[in-house]
Chain A
Amino acid sequence: MKDLVRLRTSVKESVELALNQQIQMEMVSSSKYLAMAGWCDRNGFDYSAGFFYKQSEEERSHAMKIFHYLSDQGGTAHSPEVPAVEQEFDSLRAVFEGALEQEIAVTDSINRIIVICRRENDFATDELMKWFVKEQMEEEYIARRCLDLFDQIPADQIFELDKQLASVTYDGAPFGE
C-alpha cells in the first residue's frame, strides 16, 4: 500500500497546522505595525513611523517565507484571516511596549513550532525555524533597546528621541553574521 500522504508532502499535518498559524501571526504582526506606523505618522513622529512601516513590510515577508516553504513542500498554505487591530495608542512609549510584547509572543510561538518539528522528526522545517530564531533575537533586541532610549533621553527632547529610536540596529554579534 502506497504512502499517499508522504508522496504528496514532506510536511506532517501537525507541522502544517502550526506553520499556517505562524503565517497568520506574522500577518497580524504586519497589521499591528502598520497601525503603529500610522499612529506615529499622524502624531508627528516621522522617524518612528518609518521604522514601523519597514517593520510591517518585514513581517509580511516573514509570512511569505513560510507560505512559500509550505507550498514548495507540497503542503497547503492558507491565506490567513487578519482580525482588527488596535489603531490608537496612549503614547509613543506605549507603541514601543506593544512592539516588544508582540515580538516576545512571536518568539514563543517559533519555539513551540521547533518543539513540534523535533517531535515529528521534521528537520527541514526545523532548519527554516532556525532562521526565525535568529530573526527573533534581533527583533527583541531592537525593541528592548528602543525602550531603553525612553529612559536615557529626556522627555522634552522628543524629536531627538524619535530620531534615535529609528536608528537602533543589531549587529548579530553572537553568531558573527
Chain B
Amino acid sequence: MIVSARTTSSAHAVEIFRTERGAVYQCDATQRLILDFWDTHTALSTRDFAQFRRMVNTIDVQQMALSTGSAYDVEILAPPRSERCYVLTLCEIIHLRELLNGSQLMLDLNSMLRECGCSLTSIA
C-alpha cells in the first residue's frame, strides 16, 4: 500500500525520526509506519518495517564498495507486501540505514517509556 504522507500525517501521523534524506511517521489510526524517503511514501506495518530494516541492514556494503562489477553498483530492494521497489546506491543504503535505525531507536524509546508508565505523546 502506498499512501501520501501528507494526507496521513496531517490527521494522525506523528514524525518519529528525521534525517536530511527522509523521515518516518507513525500513524496510530492505521497502526502503520510511513517511510518518507527520496520523495516516496510507503506505509508499512511494524512487522514489515522490521523486516525491511533487516533487509537494509544485511546488505553487504563492503562488497558493494570493493567490487568493480556493475552488478554491485546498486541493490534492488522491495519492502515486504508493498508495490514499492528501491534501487539503491551504496550512499543511499547508508542514508536509509541511518533513517531506519534511528526510527527503531525512537520506537524502542517509546516502548521503554510505556513500560515505566510515561508516554511520548507529550513530547511529540
Cβ B26 vs Cβ A4 within 8 A: yes
Chain A residues whose CB sits within 8 angstroms of the CB of B67 once the complex forms: none
Query: Is the beta-carbon distance between B108 and A1 smaller than 8 angstroms?
Result: no
- By a CB distance below 8 angstroms, the chain A residues around B108 are 5, 13
**A2 in contact with B51 (CB, 8 Å):** no
Q: Given that A5-B108, A7-B31 are contacting pairs, would A13 and B114 also be in contact in the complex, using a CB cutoff of 8 Å? A: no
Central interface residue in A1, A13, A76, by most chain B CB within 10 Å? A1
Would A5 and B111 be within 8 Å (CB), given that A76-B47, A76-B50 are in contact? Answer: yes
- Is the CB of A86 closer than 8 A to any CB of chain B? no
Nearest CB in chain B: distance from A5 CB, A: 5
Bound form: Cα–Cα A65–B47 in Å: 21
Instruction: Name the residue of chain A whose CB is nearest to the CB of B14.
Output: A1
Number of A-B contacts (CB under 8 A): 37
**Complex Cα spacing A3 to B14, Å:** 12
**Count of residues in B whose CB is under 8 Å from the partner chain:** 20
Let me know if B111 and A1 touch, CB within 8 A: no
Interface residues of chain A: helix, strand, loop or mixed (majority): helix
Q: Which of A2, A13, A76 contacts B31 (CB 8 A)?
A: A2
Q: Which residues of B contact A7 (CB under 8 A)?
A: 31, 46
CB of A1 within 8 A of CB of B124, answer yes
B28 within 8 A of A: yes
Mark each residue of chain B from 17 to 52: 1 if its CB lies under 8 Å from any CB of chain A, else 0. 000000000101001010000000000011100110
With both beta carbons as reference points, the residue of chain B lying nearest to A78 in the complex is identified as: B54
B120 contacts the other chain (CB 8 A): yes
- B107 in contact (CB, < 8 A): yes
Q: Who on chain A is nearest to B119 by CB?
A: A1
Beyond A5-B108, A7-B46, list 7 extra A-B contacts (CB 8 Å).
A2-B26, A4-B26, A4-B107, A5-B46, A8-B45, A13-B104, A76-B47
Residues of A participating in the B interface, judged by any CB pair closer than 8 Å: 1-8, 13, 76
